[in-house]
Structure 1
Amino acid sequence: MNFRNISSWCIRNPVPPIVLFIGLMLAGFMAFHSMTVNNQPDIDFPGALVIVNQPGAAPSEMQTQVTQKVEAAIRGVNGIDEIDSSIREGYSQTFVQFQIGTPIDRAVNDLRDAMAQIRGSLPDGILEPQVQRVDISGEPISFIAAETTDMSLEELSWYIDNDVARRLRALNGVAAVAREGGVDREINVTLDPTALQAQGITAAQVSAQLRQVNTNATGGRAEIAGSEQSVRVVGNARTSYDLSQTMISVGANRSVRLADVARVQDSYSEQRTYAKLHGKQVISFNVQRAKGKSDLEVYNEVWAELHKIEKGDLRIRFSEISNTVDYTKSQYKSSMEALFEGAILAVVVVYLFLRDGRATAISGLAIPLSAIPTFWFMSLLGINLNEISAIMPLTTQVDCDRKSGTGRC
């Protein structure tokens, strides 16, 4: 078969092209119904964040003791295009943008290795440095407020963290649940200066001993009863009472309980974020979808689970503050309407120009035969339906031979 005369061959042998286009149409319909609908396309942005927290540190201290060392350490990583840092009290964030085409997974691992090499030179009071990718497709899809009739602020905060967030993260497609407002649970240790002076010990010594004792760590392996078993050192206190019974060495082979030199309370941290809805304090949280999942499907599953939680616990009620899914739905609806309107207008324009019913019917049939299989190829390429890909340019060229007077297309 000569591909230059493929149209003539198809006219003489109509069965193979008909079967081919029926298969392509079926594949396009199936791919269209299985494609995810999102607001933005899933793309990998070549960037990463290095975050270091040191509670109570001044911005000048964070700059000289943390940020400058972090920038110097990561400057040698291959593929870096730009480094930008921001500092505030107790917080340092360094944004690293890589060159286009740099493997982002390898680059992030190189950043973690660079941070591990300077970990010993950073101040002792910092929290563990975090290195994370910049995920521009992981924006929250819904902001939700939680109200209660029979819980305190700290009880509602713990309920959101321990129960609601855990059940939502178990759903397929939910990447993260972040709480805003409320307080965090913490155990407060208030030292008694008089008792410390009587025992001859300082607050720094008590803090150092608690750091060493109140932790869980691996102990390697040991042979027990003829078999090799893993050994763990379990020292983390489960309750405030367990922590208060921790023995503190005061020298001269003497030890006292922590409760003898301090007051230990199971309490909550100072509230630093505040959320209000209709003039009433609430606790809000947002839900982020996982990459490759549909905004609409994840949104519906989240609210179905929230309604189950409300039925199981009548003390709590959820209300939506805002979401991005409504905009995604409207964009999807308008795109589909534009698709049908464009096809109808194309047929009308062809008829107005050609004044031929047969040519118009052929062009009208060519539009769905070319548009619907496109969804199958989009699915094969991993492209979802979003505000960029949903609008497809539909071009139909009709070449009619008027010289013979037959009006053939």
Structure 2
Amino acid sequence: MIEKIIEGSARNKFLVFLMVIFLGAWGLWALKNTPLDAIPDLSDVQVIIYTPWMGRNPTIIEDQVTYPIVTTMISAPRVKSVRGFSDFGYSYVYIIFEDGTDIYWARSRVLEYLNQASGRLPSGVTPTLGPDASGVGWVFQYALIDESRKYDLAQLRSLQDWYLRYQIGSVEGVAEVASVGGFVRQYQVNLDPNKLAAYRLPVKSVIDAIRMSNNDVGGRSVELSGAEYMVRGRGYIRSIKDIETVTVGGDRGTPILVRDIASVSLGPDMRRGIAELDGKGEVVGGIVVMRHGENALNLIDRVKQKIKEIEPALPSGVKIVSTYDRSDLILRSIATLKEKLIEESLIVSLVIVIFLFH
């Protein structure tokens, strides 16, 4: 058999050279386009449904949110298993699909079945899909450091949430940039129960009044002296004073304002964890999650390049420090692979030469 292959190759030199050129070109293309990663992706094809319902205990979350979603998703096509998890204020549902299922086909099926479950969920509860990433998508992490000590954790978190997260999220191949650490700033209205009882105001009426006051409305246009003016009502809350002057009721013709029954201040949202760097104190950071099927090494390079573009625009004294970078592990794995391939090639070549001498 081997003799026939050698004889056929000797007679058809052109086809042999053509095949060698084709295989060489194919190898070069694969070398440049094959996704490189040091951690094999052995995770299942899964879609995560995340549903927040703040202030509710796990039992209510399980009965009114997790259970309706789970019972709806078990009938979706190519679903292998459905796992539900209820926490304080949050519901997580993991839909595991059969191996080989396209992730975006699976996500579209989950959205279809989620529409069926929406009618069984409480009012105001909105489920959302998790990022289109795999279990090994955590490829890069950074921290914001203020060397000047001019900015507190709340200001750094605002910088991360309203600037850095969107800038890095625009990089091709990034599925999500998750913020960690710091404090999320919020307006806090601390009600006085004695004043509420004195004015006979329920808490729900105060909540509804503040929610309805935070809104812009549009009106018609008015034509005057050949010019057209657009009428609109501006009502977005922009400061503590705007909340304090919201009317929540009336007492004998006198409006009752929020400042009459509560104190309003800026404060941090409740948090369930912190981020610390090298034992030097708390920091604010971000986790870059890679989209499913992307090249991890190329993605990390693009993220680093984006960070270099962002750094000149950061406030004075604020720096971005890398805390986890998988590219180092990938490059060391590639170096080890190259070393072993060269060693094996030399050994095989030596063995072939020895056999040819015989």
Is 1:56 matched up with 2:58? no
Q: 1:277: which partner in 2? A: 277
Contact 1:44 1:135 in 2 (8 A): no
d(CA) in 2 for partners of 1:92, 1:69: 11
Counterpart of 2:333 in structure 1 is 331
2:59 counterpart letter in structure 1: S
Tell me the alpha carbon deviations over residues 227-282 of structure 1, each in whole angstroms, 9 at most, x when there is no partner. xxxx9998553444434443434498875443443333333213432122232222
Distance (Å, rounded) in 2 between the aligned partners of 1:244 and 1:278: 42
Q: State how far apart, in whole Å, the 2-side matches of 1:322 and 1:162 are.
A: 22
Q: How far off its partner does 1:77 sit?
A: 2.4
Q: What is the match of residue 177 of structure 1? A: 177
Query: What is the SS of the residue equivalent to 1:57?
Result: coil
Q: What amino acid maps onto 1:301 in structure 2? A: R
Residue by residue over 1:72-129, the C-alpha shift from the partner in whole angstroms, topping out at 9 and shown as x without a partner, is: 23233233221222222222222222234555544433433443334344344x6421
Matched, 1:22 2:21: yes
Query: Does the CA-based 8 Å contact 1:47-1:133 persist in structure 2?
Result: no
Quick one: distance in 2 between partners of 1:82 and 1:251? 58
Written as runs of structure 1 = structure 2, the 5 A alignment for 1:54-133 is 54-100=53-99, 102=101, 104-124=103-123, 127-132=125-130
Opposite residue 286 of structure 1, the aligned amino acid is I
Equivalent position amino acid for 2:262 in 1? A
Aligned to 1:298: 299
Aligned runs of 1:358-373 on 2, under 5 Å?
A: none
Do the aligned partners of 2:137 and 2:292 also contact (CA within 8 Å) in 1?
A: no
Change in Cα spacing, 1:245 to 1:315, as seen in structure 2 (3 Å) is same
Q: CA deviation at 1:348?
A: 0.8
- Whether the aligned pair in 1 keeps the contact of 2:103 and 2:132 (CA below 8 Å) is no
Does the 8 Å contact 1:42/1:292 carry over to 2? no
Structure 1 distance, partners of 2:45, 2:97, is 5
SS in 2 for 1:162: helix
- Change in Cα spacing, 1:19 to 1:113, as seen in structure 2 (3 Å) is closer
Letter in 2 for 1:269: D
CA distance in 1, matches of 2:113, 2:221: 37
The number of aligned residues is 345
Q: Provide the secondary structure at the position in 2 that maps to 1:286.
A: strand
Q: SS of 2:76's equivalent?
A: coil
Q: Secondary structure at the match of 1:187?
A: strand
Report if aligned partners of 2:73, 2:82 keep a CA contact under 8 Å in 1: no
Pairs within 5 Å for 1:218-233: none
Whole-angstrom CA distance in 1 between matches of 2:88 and 2:291: 32
Q: Offset of 1:141 from its aligned partner?
A: 1.2
Q: TM-score, normalised by structure 1?
A: 0.71
Percentage identity across aligned positions?
A: 22
Are the aligned partners of 2:133 and 2:175 in contact in 1 as well (CA < 8 Å)? Answer: no
Q: What residue is the counterpart of 2:145 in the other structure?
A: 147
Give the 3-state SS of the residue equivalent to 1:277 in structure 2.
Answer: coil
Give the CA deviation at 1:203: 0.9
- Structure 1 residue 42: deviation in Å? 6.9
CA distance in 2 between counterparts of 1:121 and 1:216 reads: 31
The structural deviation recorded for 1:155 is 0.7
**Structure 1 stretch 81-90 or stretch 312-321: which is displaced more?**
312-321
Q: Cα 1:260–1:310, aligned 2, differ >3 Å: closer, same or farther? A: same
Whole-angstrom distance in 1 between the partners of 2:320 and 2:246? 41
What is the CA-CA distance between 1:151 and the residue it aligns to? Answer: 0.7
Q: TM-score, normalised by structure 2?
A: 0.79
Maintained 8 Å contact 2:74/2:81: no
Question: What are the ranges of 5 or more consecutive residues in structure 2 without an aligned counterpart?
Answer: 224-230
Q: Aligned equivalents of 2:126 and 2:99: distance in 1?
A: 29
Q: 2:318 aligned to 311, 316, 319, which one? A: 316
What is residue 201 of structure 1 aligned with on the other side?
201
Secondary structure of the corresponding residue to residue 117 of structure 1: helix
Residues of 2 paired with 1:22 and 1:47: CA distance?
41
Could you say which residue in structure 2 is the equivalent of 1:135?
Answer: 133
Pick closer, same or farther for the CA change 1:157–1:132 going to 2, 3 Å: closer
